[in-house]
A and B are shown apart, each in its own frame.
Chain A
Amino acid sequence: MSWWDDAVHRAVAEAILIGALTGLVGVRVVPRRLSFFTMALTHATFPGVVAAAIIGVNIYLGGALAGIMVALGVAALSRNRGQNAAAATGVLLSGGFALGVALVATQDGFSRDLSSFLVGSILTVSTGDVATTAAVLAVLMVVVSVTARPMLFTGFDAEGARAAGIRTGTVDLVLLLSVEVVIVTAVPAIGAILAVALIVAPAAAARMFSDRPPIVTALAMTFGVLSGLSGLSISGRFNVAAGAAITLTATTVLLLSLLLTRAAALLQTRRTMTP
């Protein structure tokens, strides 16, 4: 019997990998204000995953295809006069969600599948899922290190980047695809909705401690891994759903960071005020 045969061991490995993965991509999502778009991707990935499961092809593939369609759809719809990106995102979000729910409802025993899609079940991940997560993490790390400079430039000054000869469209597409891939990878473990928490919260928390991209990235990945592991252990001890426990841990990390930075700022002003 190998180490991987134990469901808890697999869950621990998956929690570490997912935490690192979401932290890595979250650092790029939060400053670009893509949280709502990420949420829309999770809802719209849903019909892709369900359709793939019904047809019998790889669910990662189905989810990724649906996500690409949404990314292109938001870009196309928000070019319409008077249509803002928030509304276009919202339309695709609700449409995708309804389509997914409709597809799921045609199947037998659907409510179990539905809830595992929404909130995940990390204790039932297979060795294959863990391997996929590891592979995605490795690929994304390469992508991130290759595109770090153009990504940063585009994020802070899209006009300037374009003038400097960077293809900002391609850069944005790479970013959106990375987010989509991370969501699809995280679905079996923590579910679609709660994946958003692990993407946004650790990155937002890391941002409070530093402005330098490498440090923020490292911190966000650390926070992600910590949230994953402590959430998992809380879930085991108190018998609650693992995905939810992980989400609440990530939220707690963010709240603590907020309080810490605010307390530090208070101390700073007091020190400068007293002569």
Chain B
Amino acid sequence: MSALFLEPFQAPFMTRALIELVLLALICGPIGVFVFIRRLSFVADALTHTIFPGVVIGFAAGGLDGIFVGALIAGLVTAALLTLLTRRAELTDDASTAVLLTAMFAIGVVLVSRQSSYTSDLTAFLFGRILTVTPRQLGETAALAVLILGLLAVGGRAFLFRAFDPGGAAAAGLHIGRLDLWLNVIIALVVVAAVRAVGTVLVIALLIVPAAAARLLTDRLGDMVIAGTALTAGAGYLGLVISWSASVGYGIRLTSASAVVLVLVLAYLLLLPAGLRRRRRAVPR
């Protein structure tokens, strides 16, 4: 039994994949909670798509190293545009997010479709290459983790104030637009940090599912952060084990990123009864 759960990690690339996922859990745990309370799921989804043109341009300009810079620029541009668009009254925020998402994604597709390795690039973008994470990439993720958590620590209290009482926050002298931009930039940084390693499929899930599942267990934000982080790390480990044994033991091609997401969603579904029970306790009939 223990062989099943430990043996995969004797391969160095599996250990590196696990370390990357744990690092991402540390980032996404706290950020996911803010995505949850500010209802920014769509923004998170949009960012994972809008960095695509940046990835393509970056790769064309500077090879593998260019991807990071390109994604970073595209992410920051998106964060700024999203903040601007959602403050205008002509379009509802969800419509403008949808339009920005599809337009930037289409630019990426146009750029890619003029190159020869069209389909395989798109696939790598979706799945990422978690099993080929290099020690250097781990270092970059760790550095970004420190930066992201630092930015969050500085803005955290203001974000909370703005989330629960926008009018009060504005009256207290906080700049709502600047705060929204700040949070969008942080989410963009998370997406950029994670997307090359784990692909868009997994990034969306890491930002949304753990916090939603943690909310089923507790109302307290601090506890939600801890539960979300633990859940992500656990699902990362279990997903890697499952995808390893499916591929090695049974010859089923199960990509690691999908396995991790499916474990997370399963955990959410299993926690649903707990949420229902809590609701019943809170509202006595």
Contact = CB atoms under 8 A, between A and B. Distances in A.
Interface of A: 30, 33-36, 38-39, 77, 80-84, 86-91, 93-95, 97-99, 101-102, 105-106, 110-112, 114-115, 118-119, 193-194, 196-197, 200-201, 204, 208, 239-241, 243-245, 247-248, 251, 254, 258, 261-262
B205 A94 contact: yes
Contacts of B161: none
- 6 tightest CB-CB pairs across the interface, nearest first? A90-B41, A197-B102, A98-B261, A102-B258, A90-B208, A94-B205
B99 A87 contact: no
Contacts of B264: 94
Nearest to B268: A91
A222 B41 CA distance: 32
- Chain B interface size band reads 35 or more
Contact of B90 (A106, A243, A251, A261): A261
A34 to B, nearest CB: 8
Interface centre among B102, B110, B253 (most CB of A within 10 A): B102
Contacts of A33: 92, 94-95
Contact of B212 (A87, A99, A240, A261): A87
Contacts of A247: 102-103, 105-106
A251 B99 contact: yes
Contacts of A111: 119-120, 122-123
A177 B105 CA distance: 26
Nearest to B204: A94
Interface in B1-60: 36, 39-42, 44-45, 49
Given A39-B98, A114-B122, A105 B258 contact: yes
Contacts of A201: 99, 102
B175 interface: no
A244 B99 contact: no
Contacts of A97: 201, 204, 261
Contacts of B169: none
A102 B259 contact: yes
Interface centre among A99, A101, A239, A240 (most CB of B within 10 A): A101
Interface in B125-161: 126-127
Given A204-B91, A261-B90, A90 B279 contact: no
Contact of A196 (B98, B118, B202, B215): B98
- Judged by DSSP, the binding face of B is helix
B120 A82 contact: no
Given A83-B275, A105-B255, A112-B119, A244 B98 contact: no
B69 interface: no
B258 A98 contact: yes
Contact of B41 (A89, A118, A241, A261): A89
Interface of B: 36, 39-42, 44-45, 49, 90-92, 94-95, 97-99, 101-103, 105-107, 109-110, 112-114, 118-120, 122-123, 126-127, 201-202, 204-205, 208-209, 211-212, 215-216, 219, 252-255, 257-259, 261-262, 264-265, 268, 272, 275-276, 278-279, 282-283
Interface centre among B92, B99, B262, B275 (most CB of A within 10 A): B99
A88 B212 contact: yes
Given A102-B255, A243-B106, 15 more contacts: A39-B45, A81-B275, A81-B283, A82-B215, A93-B204, A94-B209, A101-B201, A111-B123, A114-B119, A196-B101, A200-B99, A204-B91, A244-B107, A244-B109, A247-B106
Contacts of B201: 94, 97-98, 101
Contacts of A197: 98-99, 102-103, 106
A32 B85 CA distance: 18
A239 B113 CA distance: 8
B90 A91 contact: no
A95 B261 contact: yes
A94 B265 contact: yes
Given A95-B262, A251-B99, A101 B127 contact: yes
B204 A80 contact: no
Contacts of A258: 90-91
A110 to B, nearest CB: 8
A36 B97 CA distance: 8
A80 B208 contact: no
24 contacts: A30-B92, A38-B98, A39-B101, A77-B272, A81-B278, A90-B42, A91-B208, A93-B208, A94-B204, A97-B201, A98-B201, A98-B205, A98-B261, A98-B265, A101-B127, A105-B253, A114-B126, A193-B49, A197-B103, A200-B99, A240-B110, A241-B113, A244-B109, A262-B90
B187 to A, nearest CB: 13
